[in-house]
Amino acid sequence: FFASVEMAPGDPILGLTEAYLADPRPNKVNLGVGIYTDEQGRVPVLKAVQQVEQALARDTQPRGYLPIDGLPAYNKLSQQLLFGEGSPLLEAGRVATAQTIGGSGALRVAADLIKQVAGDKARIAISNPSWGNHHVVFRTAGFQLQDYRYYDDTTHGLDFAGMLEDLGKLEPGTVVLLHACCHNPTGVDLEPAQWAQVVELVKERGLLPFVDMAYQGFDQGIDADATAVRMFAESGIEAFVVASSYSKSFSLYGERVGVLSMVGADRDEAARLRSKIKQTIRANYSSPAAHGGQLVAGVLASSELRALWESELGGMRERIHAMRAGLVQKLAAHGHEFGFIQRQAGMFSYSGLSKPQVERLREEFAIYALTTGRICVAALNTQNLGYVADAIAKVVG
């Protein structure tokens, strides 16, 4: 039966991690992965999360199934984080929200649902470049894929004119995938005034905005990073989608904690969307996992733990800013201008390093990055920063 099955290509990022792990050099640095590590190079366990975990361990409960759309408290608290407390959309009952298997699960459930509605006309426009899984998820769900211009490699910033031009040419009804903040892989984001223009254009052209927010709180803060979501909410647009994730903001990568929110024109439309979301989840994996959802809901439901989490999230954010600043400063001391790294945001940076330069970093210095030049600045720390900066200075000559 399986004799004709072909070998699927390996994931390039995971392949890089395997090579890194097998590298015996003691000074090796992995800037390839999408994981935040702390000053000691470890994936942090947040204190707020630990407190909920300890409480759960003390009071072991039977392990029944969660509802198909997850823990009600998780969904309600997530809505407030995404749309803001007192959001008129929430008050009008226009948002259908479900706990999903990570942000990836939210993308996939929404993709399946939209495909069902749009049929053969299902089309999505994705920034060039974007997180590789965006293409995989939407292609697998049966969408036709298009790119829109986004990154300008001459400025290492945004090609905003190109983006507007490309979005302006899309067929009405096309889904537009937008990174809310901390764009993966470039680190290049829109300013609020630019978001306002995109919102206007999307509205005028009759496109369906699909906001992917995997890094809320990793750049400016919880509310500021949700600017795009809040602007769509205020725009009067009848329908949009938000996929979000707590993988990074709670440092709960393996717990697979994500959220899908679909906004409809009114309460009735949202109720129908909710029923369709549940049907789609049921057909995919029946219901989400309980533990991660309980951790997040436990933190968000307690004002004390929420404040602790916000300060820990703030600590991660500030450390990333400090690492960006440190890298720019050290490279400047070598006579290299990399100021754009400080204008980019979040865990990643399109460093502008070429493929041969990235290969030299790996071969000569045991520093692992993606051949596109994407580096994870959240994997830098005060112990490896000088080494990485010196090595980059050598390879850029």
Could you say which of 159, 189, 212, 219 contacts ligand PMP (CB under 6 A)?
212
Q: List phi, psi (to 5°) of 34.
A: -105, 60
CA distance 14 to 25: 19
Show the DSSP H helices in the chain as ranges. Answer: 12-22, 47-58, 72-83, 88-91, 102-118, 132-140, 160-168, 192-205, 222-225, 227-234, 267-284, 290-301, 303-333, 340-343, 355-365, 385-396
The residue type at 62: P
Beta-carbon count within 10 A of 32 CB: 25
Please report which helix (H) or strand (E) contains residue 218, including its range: none
- Is residue 292 involved in binding ligand PMP (CB under 6 A)? no
> Do residues 212 and 179 lie in contact, with contact meaning Cβ atoms separated by under 8 Å?
yes
Could you say which of 167, 214, 323, 376 contacts ligand PMP (CB under 6 A)?
214
CA distance 307 to 329: 32
Rounded to a whole number of angstroms, the minimum distance from the CB of residue 208 to ligand PMP is 18
Q: Residues 315-344: x/- map of binding to ligand PMP (CB under 6 A)?
A: ------------------------------
Q: Which is nearer to ligand PMP, 348 or 365 (CB)?
A: 348
Stretch that binds ligand PMP, among 65-73, 96-104, 187-195, 387-395 (CB under 6 A): 96-104
- Would you call 179 helix, strand, or coil by DSSP? strand
Most distant CA pair in the chain: distance in Å?
A: 62
By rule CB under 6 A, what count of residues binds ligand PMP? 12
CA distance 110 to 277: 7
Q: Which is nearer to ligand PMP, 258 or 288 (CB)?
A: 258
Could you say which of 127, 186, 227, 245 contacts ligand PMP (CB under 6 A)?
245
Q: Which is nearer to ligand PMP, 94 or 248 (CB)?
A: 248
- Is residue 84 involved in binding ligand PMP (CB under 6 A)? no
Stretch that binds ligand PMP, among 19-27, 102-110, 195-203, 292-300 (CB under 6 A): 102-110
Rounded to a whole number of angstroms, the minimum distance from the CB of residue 131 to ligand PMP is 4
Could you say which of 34, 217, 298, 373 contacts ligand PMP (CB under 6 A)?
34
Q: Which is nearer to ligand PMP, 190 or 328 (CB)?
A: 190
Could you say which of 30, 51, 87, 184 contacts ligand PMP (CB under 6 A)?
184
> Do residues 346 and 374 lie in contact, with contact meaning Cβ atoms separated by under 8 Å?
no
Rounded to a whole number of angstroms, the minimum distance from the CB of residue 121 to ligand PMP is 24
Residues 6+ apart with CB under 8 A from 18: none
Assigned token pair, 129: 């470049």
Site for ligand PMP in 154-183 (CB under 6 A): 179
Rounded to a whole number of angstroms, the minimum distance from the CB of residue 345 to ligand PMP is 13
- Is residue 104 involved in binding ligand PMP (CB under 6 A)? yes
- Is residue 103 involved in binding ligand PMP (CB under 6 A)? yes
CA distance 391 to 370: 15
CA–CA–CA angle 215, 314, 347 (5° rounding): 35
Q: What number of residues does the chain have?
A: 397
The closest residue (CB) to ligand PMP is 102
Query: Annotated active-site positions, please?
Result: 131, 212, 248
> Whose CA is closest to 262, among 111, 67, 119, 102?
111
CA distance 232 to 371: 35
Stretch that binds ligand PMP, among 97-105, 194-202, 298-306, 353-361 (CB under 6 A): 97-105
- Is residue 258 involved in binding ligand PMP (CB under 6 A)? yes
Rounded to a whole number of angstroms, the minimum distance from the CB of residue 184 to ligand PMP is 4
Q: Which is nearer to ligand PMP, 247 or 251 (CB)?
A: 247
**DSSP secondary structure letters along 245-267:** E-TTTTT-GGG-EEEEEEE-SSH
Stretch that binds ligand PMP, among 52-60, 98-106, 139-147, 229-237 (CB under 6 A): 98-106
Could you say which of 32, 84, 102, 217 contacts ligand PMP (CB under 6 A)?
102
Task: Give me the residues that bind ligand PMP (CB under 6 A), please.
Answer: 34, 102-104, 131, 179, 184, 212, 214, 245, 247, 258
